[in-house]
Structure 1
């Protein structure tokens, strides 16, 4: 979540690196004003989205996530390696989302853009996991600390573009391009990554969908959850929130006792580490 390690001395924006540097609709949609005013268009959009979800499921294969919300976030981790390090989004190819799914993605983009709110952090279940190059937060309290810390670290964060490449009952996945401007140095870093949002089974068909596991990858390999790098990721998430004074964090204090399991370790971030290879360049 914190791309500070890519900071340098060049005050101009960088081109997007290719290595690691730094959201179904139901009855309410059919009864909405646009649906009533344009029933044919609404039907076409619903049909398109259903077909896309079916196609994505068929192409990517079931990940074997639990079908209920009882299991903690660790059970919803997507594992994947890529055939390319290039996650540059092409918005013209982005999958069209239903309104609830689009609102979920909008909220996540707003969080990346240093606009945290209590409501947006509630997009995650209390037992969620956030996992990127720099952070491993295994409950919503720790995650809230990360999101509310971003505006203190960055003067600005702008979403340049994104491309939804998967949307089905298990997951919403998109390529993301984000520019981060640091507070203490005249530097803007533009980062591309693959964002995977594993959906909470209990809310995946609701108006307010929630996330069980949020993974952000910036290179072709997945995370092994081992070694000094992971030790730092876990330490950072465990401790940053302890030093935050944002009053909004009180909303999530009870989440510290959310169900969680020991970190799952894989030995490697390659296919041998249970991370099947996929082609995200199409």
Structure 2
């Protein structure tokens, strides 16, 4: 990995904090309703599609270019602070899962610097062929001018929880983010 890569200078300042989507009864609801999806620009659709491609196990240098070099990726299992470390996560998915499927999405917000959607995704574990379907909220913080916006913070929340960045859980997430590239070996140009 290039030694000049360093974390985003304002990691916590760029973290998205979207409103949790709620249903008609006011209950937090991560179930995507595609018919309710907001219309977004062609460039934003391109960003979303590249991220969905990654969730579907299609890690490529082209899809990885959606991220800024000093981007952050934050989900229940990993915290990565460079595009190269993020690539380690995406290039690792096909090693764990025999099938990755995007079942539904619903864009809930598209503002000047954020793109947020709910998604339903099915993960089928390699070898044992057991599937797990997860509803989550994907929040992207974007910087740059259209059509050259880049993701500087990618946050995914499962089970209506916003995960803490403290304690043993945060340490495990950071360790996973820092070390997975040595196992998955993404191209350094990713």
Q: TM over 0.5, yes or no?
A: yes
Matched, 1:198 2:120: no
The whole-number CA distance in structure 2 between the counterparts of 1:128 and 1:73 is: 9
The whole-number CA distance in structure 2 between the counterparts of 1:132 and 1:114 is: 16
| Correspondences of 1:259-270 after superposition (within 5 Å) | none
Deviation (angstroms), 1:130: 0.4
Of 137, 144, 147, the residue aligned with 2:90 is 147
Task: Output one character per residue of 1:107-140: Cα deviation in whole Å (capped at 9) or x when no partner.
Answer: 1111000011101111000111100100100111
Deviation (angstroms), 1:85: 4.5
SS in 1 for 2:172: helix
Q: Which residue of 2 aligns with 1:251?
A: 189
Stretches (4+) displaced over 4 A: 70-73
SS in 2 for 1:128: strand
Deviation (angstroms), 1:212: 0.6
Q: Which residue of 2 aligns with 1:238?
A: 178
The whole-number CA distance in structure 1 between the counterparts of 2:116 and 2:57 is: 20
Label 1:230 to 1:74 Cα distance change in 2 as closer, same or farther (>3 A).
Answer: same
Q: Which residue of 2 aligns with 1:87?
A: 30
Label 1:171 to 1:80 Cα distance change in 2 as closer, same or farther (>3 A).
Answer: closer
**Number of aligned pairs?**
178
Deviation (angstroms), 1:71: 4.8
The whole-number CA distance in structure 2 between the counterparts of 1:129 and 1:183 is: 27
Task: Output one character per residue of 1:194-241: Cα deviation in whole Å (capped at 9) or x when no partner.
Answer: 0000011x23x22x4310100000133312201111111110111111
Task: Output one character per residue of 1:227-260: Cα deviation in whole Å (capped at 9) or x when no partner.
Answer: 11111111011111122334xx2214xxxxxxxx
Task: Output one character per residue of 1:16-61: Cα deviation in whole Å (capped at 9) or x when no partner.
Answer: xxxxxxxxxxxxxxxxxxxxxxxxxxxxxxxxxxxxxxxxxxxxxx
Matched, 1:186 2:126: no
Matched, 1:227 2:170: no
Matched, 1:118 2:61: yes
Q: Which residue of 2 aligns with 1:218?
A: 158
Structure with higher strand content: 2
Label 1:103 to 1:243 Cα distance change in 2 as closer, same or farther (>3 A).
Answer: same
Label 1:233 to 1:81 Cα distance change in 2 as closer, same or farther (>3 A).
Answer: farther
Structure 2: gaps (5+ residues): 1-7
Label 1:81 to 1:134 Cα distance change in 2 as closer, same or farther (>3 A).
Answer: farther
The whole-number CA distance in structure 1 between the counterparts of 2:38 and 2:19 is: 21
Larger radius of gyration: 1
Q: Which residue of 2 aligns with 1:127?
A: 70
Structure with higher helix content: 1
Structure 1: gaps (5+ residues): 1-69, 253-282
Task: Output one character per residue of 1:145-189: Cα deviation in whole Å (capped at 9) or x when no partner.
Answer: 111111111111010000000011110000000001110212011
